[in-house]
Amino acid sequence: MPAPAGHIPLSVPEMGGREWEYVRACFDTGWVSSSGPFVDDFEKRIAAAAGTAHAVATSTGTAAIHLALLIAGVQPGDEVVVPSLTFIAPANAVAYTGAHPVFVGVDEYWQLNPAALATFLETRCEMRGGVCVNRATGRRVAAVLPVDLLGHPVNLDEIRRVAGAHALVVVEDATESLGARYRDRPVGAGPSVACFSFNGNKIVTTGGGGALVTDRDDWAARARYLSTQAKDDPIEYVHGAIGYNYRLTSIQAAMGMAQMEVLDRFVERRRAIAARYRDALADLPGVTFQPEAPWARSTFWLSTIRVDPATVRPAARAGDSRTLLAAMTAEGIQCRPLWQPLHESAAFPGAESFDVEDAEAVHRQALSLPSSSGLSDADQTRVIAVLRSTLGGASR
Ligand SMILES: *Cc1c(COP(=O)(O)O)cnc(C)c1O
């Protein structure tokens, strides 16, 4: 749907080049459903981008996370550590397995805090016969599910070290960080399994879709099996487990192939947008950016500022993130707060949480700005002008 004139959206797809050509090839060859060369090629392309041996394409990113938890051995009645500050999908995926999320707070980069994770495991849990058990609930803590929030990679080496010491599997939610780098490697390589999303507002899109990546042959095979109804015999329709219909279609994969060809350009563009916002707003008191760690190369999926009411200029028309949100919305500029911290969500009443004050503070103050790779310089100039005038900065 075309945006109304003058409206500047938060994050919308950009057709980067050969989408139509490839989708047309699906129709011309009859490969439109969930088998065919495009799905295979798309999986190879994702594995190559992530630096992993395997990729398994799925119908959504949420489905990829669900499968990742299953192949990682998460069982009903287990617990899985999830950051409190995230879109709800990873916590929902934990619930789909019958396990319980435990919500832990964030670090200075707004990512799952490895130190808080360690303190939670050391003070509230104990090892019993090689298994990490939450003392209060008596449940096994099976896995940790860090999320690369807003495209910024988590401190994975630290999280892996802590997880390893407590026999937890690491499943990385990299749905916002395809194309990011952690130290010297692409996001996706490193954890036991990582998940991507190709939802419409992500870095690259298939309209809807996802993938998991892993180096383990057995896990990739198991994910593929579970994603196709766990079919043991394709002629007699004999099934060996409760499976899911989680496969991506060929049409979606064809679109994804074209999008993956321009992934690097899209990431560069999002980074340039973030850098321009940072420069243009640097002199405004009370306004800071999601910081980028020295070991990280974020996708800056959504450029996100933090507005501290205590230090914003007295002359500002908006002194906090929600007043600013209303002012931007009135100008036709789509901004968005971060997601309600999950320890406050009605979806998970009574869930355990640990060290979540920073998650609450970031949630109160953060606002994501228009970040589409297709955002024009003129539109970004307008966003900046409205931000500056609303926050009490002189125009520049
Ligand atoms: C987008 C997103 C997902 C889910 O992806 P879908 O493809 O929409 O199912 C999961 N986790 C996070 C953090 C996301 O931003």
pLDDT digits (tens, 9 = 90+) for 369-381: 999 999 999 999 9
Confidence of residue 395 (pLDDT cuts 50, 70, 90): low
Ligand 1, from 60, 175, 371: best to mutate by most atoms within 8 Å of Cβ? 175
- Predicted pLDDT at 3: 53
Å from CA of 236 to ligand 1 middle? 36
Cα distances (Å, whole numbers) of residue 154 to 270, 349, 378: 18, 26, 33
Of 3-12, 126-135, 153-162, 164-173, the least confident? 3-12
- Ligand 1 lining (C-beta closer than 6 Å): 60-62, 86-87, 89-90, 147, 173, 175-176, 197, 199, 210
Does the pLDDT value for residue 316 go beyond 90? no
Confidence of residue 107 (pLDDT cuts 50, 70, 90): very high
Confidence of residue 318 (pLDDT cuts 50, 70, 90): confident
Å from CA of 175 to ligand 1 middle? 5
- Predicted pLDDT at 179: 97
- Predicted pLDDT at 142: 98
Does the pLDDT value for residue 6 go beyond 90? no
183: left (phi over 0), alpha (psi -120 to 50) or beta: left
Atom 10 of ligand 1, residue of closest alpha carbon = 89
Mean pLDDT of 44-57: 97
Encoded tokens for 359? 């998650």
- Predicted pLDDT at 5: 65
- Could you tell me if 178 and 204 are in contact, meaning their C-beta atoms sit under 8 angstroms apart? yes
Report pTM.
Answer: 0.96
> Which atom of ligand 1 lies at the shortest distance from residue 87's CA?
13
pLDDT digits (tens, 9 = 90+) for 195-249: 999 999 999 999 999 999 999 999 999 999 999 999 999 899 999 999 999 999 9
Mean pLDDT of 157-165: 97
Mean pLDDT of 246-266: 96
Atom 11 of ligand 1, residue of closest alpha carbon = 89
- Predicted pLDDT at 319: 83
Length of the chain: 396
- Predicted pLDDT at 37: 87
Confidence of residue 295 (pLDDT cuts 50, 70, 90): very high
Furthest CA-CA distance within the chain = 74
Taking the C-alpha atoms of residue 352 and residue 337, their distance in angstroms, rounded to an integer, is 24
Angle value at C-alpha 142, between 139 and 143, nearest 5 degrees = 135
Q: What is the DSSP letter of 60?
A: S
Mean pLDDT of 134-145: 98
Does the pLDDT value for residue 109 go beyond 70? yes
- Could you tell me if 307 and 317 are in contact, meaning their C-beta atoms sit under 8 angstroms apart? no
Q: Over the chain, what is the mean pLDDT?
A: 95
Confidence of residue 312 (pLDDT cuts 50, 70, 90): confident
- Predicted pLDDT at 31: 83
Does the pLDDT value for residue 1 go beyond 80? no
Of 28-37, 142-151, 193-202, the least confident? 28-37
Number of H helices, E strands in the chain: 12, 18
Percent of the chain surpassing pLDDT 90: 89
- From the list 53, 301, 277, the residue with the least C-alpha distance to 179 is 301
> Which atom of ligand 1 lies at the shortest distance from residue 209's CA?
7
Å from CA of 311 to ligand 1 middle? 34
- Which residues have C-beta within 8 Å of that of residue 107, sequence separation ≥ 6? 113, 114, 115, 116, 155, 358
- Could you tell me if 320 and 307 are in contact, meaning their C-beta atoms sit under 8 angstroms apart? yes
- Predicted pLDDT at 98: 98
